[in-house]
Amino acid sequence: MILTVIGLILLAIGAVCDLLGAIGMHRFNTFYLRLHAATVGTVGGKFYPLLGVAFIAAEQGLWPVVGISVLAALLVLVTTPVGSHALAYAASKARIVEMELDEFRGEEDV
């Protein structure tokens, strides 16, 4: 019973992360802030629900589902930051997105 409750809590956390990521994509005005919102929505909105599904499946003894869910969660956790970093680096190098001055240091963001 406790694993199901933990799994449902993780599913709810994932839904909140997806909602916050969608709101951030709509409200933020620069490329890098939107990229951050998309990454938060992807990691939080996919990683936590997949772990929640693994907990719920473990309580019911569905071990193949547990293995696939944990593997998919780890894959999302590893690949999402790499993909968003590559996207930001490519946009910066191609000069598609203007660099903004850092208001604290007075230098360009790298």
110 residues of the chain, pLDDT tens digit each: 999 999 999 999 999 999 999 999 999 888 888 998 999 888 999 999 999 999 999 999 999 999 999 999 999 999 998 999 898 888 888 888 776 655 555 555 55
Degrees to nearest 5, angle at CA 40 with 95 and 19:
120
**Residue 54 is encoded by which pair of tokens?**
């693994």
pTM of the model: 0.79
Instruction: Output helix, strand, coil percentages for the chain, rounded to the nearest 5.
Output: 80, 0, 20
- CA atoms within 13 Å, Cβ hemisphere of 3: 12
| Short-list 16, 39, 29, 37, CA closest to 85 | 39
